[in-house]
Copies of this chain bind each other. A is one copy, B any other.
Amino acid sequence: MFARIRLATPSDVPHIHKMIHQMAVFERLTHLCSATENSLSSTLFSPTTKPFHSFTIFLLEVSPNPFTDSVITDPSFTPVVKVVHLDLPIDDPEKETFTTNAVNDVSVAGFVLFFPNYSTFLAKPGFYIEDLFVRDCFRRKGFGKMLLSTVAKQAVKMGYGRVEWVVLDWNVNAIKFYEEMGAKILHEWRVCRLTGDALEAYGIAD
């Protein structure tokens, strides 16, 4: 099987939207997921969202055939292609839904969404990974590692100082995987969030 990571484009939004919904189902948080194709398009692909300098999505595609189409949509990133050896072929029940190139049998298997953050101590930008998702039938085959590695490699290429993300404290499998990737878990820090009505109140406050 061939796997490719490339920058997502506006035409990928329907697939990205479906995967975001699947992620919400997996996390049992569908009641908190209000993303639509329109709201994703307008916020992720606006004129100010330059890849790597704002919200950026790497899309993971798979195919039983070598990739023949050119998908260099931005000069700042050359797609990464890998040959993946599998013991058993993958049966994708949603193949039709996630097809990007029917002629060459290419479909979307996952994505990672990230954007720059900044460390004042390092005086350097870094990347923050908001979402890393691999579709159900493609899990435990190294694709998550491939997506995360590609973000890390891009960070090094740009001279950035860190790649950060968050994990649920009970998700021991994920924590083990991240530690094996070289990440440290910052046990002392807690995320604070101001949102909803509590945030809106500041819009009308003096």
Contacts and interface: CB of A to CB of B under 8 A. Distances in A.
Contact of A193 (B23, B162, B202): B162
A189 B168 CA distance: 5
A103 interface: no
A198 B182 contact: yes
A200 interface: yes
Interface in A153-206: 153, 155-157, 161-170, 175, 178, 181-195, 198-203, 205
B123 A199 contact: no
Contacts of A162: 193-195, 199
Contacts of A50: 48
A81 interface: no
Give the interface size bracket for A toward B: 35 or more
Interface in A8-37: 20, 23-24, 29, 32-36
Interface stretch (A59-67, A83-91, A92-100, A112-120): A112-120
A123 B39 contact: yes
Contact of A190 (B122, B123, B125, B186): B186
Contacts of A119: 130
A201 B170 CA distance: 28
B125 A128 contact: no
Nearest to A133: B120
Scoring A32, A183, A195 by chain B CB atoms within 10 A of each residue's CB, the highest score goes to A195
Interface of A: 20, 23-24, 29, 32-36, 39-40, 43-44, 48, 50, 53-55, 113, 115-126, 128, 130-131, 149, 152-153, 155-157, 161-170, 175, 178, 181-195, 198-203, 205
Given A35-B122, A55-B125, A118-B130, 9 more contacts: A35-B123, A55-B116, A126-B195, A156-B199, A163-B194, A165-B192, A168-B188, A169-B190, A185-B191
